[in-house]
Amino acid sequence: MKSFEELGVDRPLLDAIKDMGFENPMPVQEQVIPHLLNNDNDVVALAQTGTGKTAAFGLPVLQRINADNNKPQALILSPTRELCLQIAGDLADFSKYMPKIRIIPVYGGSSIESQIRSLREGAQIIVATPGRLIDLINRGVVNLKNVHTVILDEADEMLNMGFLDSLNAILEHVPDQRKMLMFSATMPKEISRIAKRYMHDPIEIVVGTRNEGSANVRHIYYMVNARDKYLALKRIADDNPDIYAIIFCRTRRDTQEIADQLITDGYNADALHGDLSQQQRDIVMKKFRDRVISLLVATDVAARGLDVDDLTHVINYGLPEDTAVYTHRSGRTGRAGKTGVSVAIIHSREKGRLKEIERIIGKKFERKDVPTPEHIIEKQLYSLADRIERVKVDDTAMEKYTPGVIKKLGWLSSEDLIKRVLSLEFNRLINYYKDAPSIDFIDDKQSKGKGKKEHDAPRNAKEKDRRTAEKGMERIYINVGKNDGFYAGNLIEMLNHEIKGPRVDVGRIDLMPGYSLFDVKSGDARRVVDALTGADFLGRRIFSEVAKEGKDYAKAAARKSKEKGFERADRPRKPKRPKRKS
Is the distance from CB of 431 to CB of 423 less than 8 angstroms? no
Q: What are phi and psi of 9, to 5 degrees?
A: -75, 135
Task: Note the pLDDT of residue 183.
Answer: 85
**pLDDT, tens only, 315-352:** 999 888 777 788 878 878 876 566 789 999 998 778 88
Residue 564 has pLDDT above 60, yes or no: no
Identify which has the larger pLDDT, 362 or 528: 528
Helix (H, G, I), strand (E, B) or coil at 5: coil
- pLDDT attached to residue 50: 59
- Name the residue with higher pLDDT: 48 or 16: 16
Task: Select from 552, 476, 553 the least CA-distant residue to 520.
Answer: 476
- Residues recorded for the chain: 582
- Element spanning 446, H or E: helix 444-447
**Residues with Cβ < 8 Å from 470, sequence gap 6 or more?**
507, 508, 519
pLDDT tens for 497-553 read 888 888 787 888 888 888 999 988 888 999 999 999 998 887 788 999 999 887 888
User: Per-residue confidence at 244, pLDDT binned at 50, 70, 90?
Assistant: very high
Highest mean pLDDT among 234-243, 369-378, 571-580: 234-243
- How many Cβ atoms from other residues are within 10 Å of residue 269's Cβ? 22
* SS3 readout for 217-254: EEEEEEEECHHHHHHHHHHHHHCCCCCCEEEECCCHHH
Mean pLDDT over 290-301 rounds to 91
Query: pLDDT (tens digit, 9 = 90+) per residue, 142-155?
Result: 999 999 999 998 88
In this prediction, residue 209 carries a pLDDT of 47
What would the mean pLDDT of 41-70 be, rounded to a whole number?
85
The rounded distance, in Å, linking the Cα atoms of 408 and 402 is 10
Task: Please determine, for residue 565, whether its predicted confidence score (pLDDT) is greater than 70.
Answer: no
- What pLDDT does residue 435 have? 67
Q: Across all residues in the chain, what is the average pLDDT? A: 82
- In this predicted model, which residue has the larger pLDDT, 432 or 171? 171
**Alpha-carbon 320 to chain mean position:** 9
Kindly indicate the confidence band of residue 246, based on its pLDDT and cuts at 50, 70 and 90: very high
By percentage, how much of the chain surpasses pLDDT 90? 28
Secondary structure (3-state) at 515: coil
* pLDDT tens-digit map of 383-396: 787 777 777 888 88
Q: Which of 320, 314, 346, 344 is nearest to 228 (CA)?
A: 346
Give the per-residue pLDDT at 571. 38
pLDDT computed for residue 444 by the predictor: 40
Q: What is the 3-state composition of the chain as percent helix, strand, coil, each rounded to the nearest 5? A: 40, 15, 40
Residue 3 amino acid letter: S
- Report the alpha-carbon distance of residue 109 to residue 91 in Å, rounded: 22
pLDDT at position 210 over 70 = no
pLDDT at 275: 85
Q: What is the pTM of this model?
A: 0.52
pLDDT digits (tens, 9 = 90+) for 266-292: 899 999 988 888 788 889 988 998 999
Euclidean distance between CA atoms 305 and 272, whole angstroms: 12
What pLDDT sits at residue 187? Answer: 67
Alpha carbon distance 330, 340 (integer Å):
9
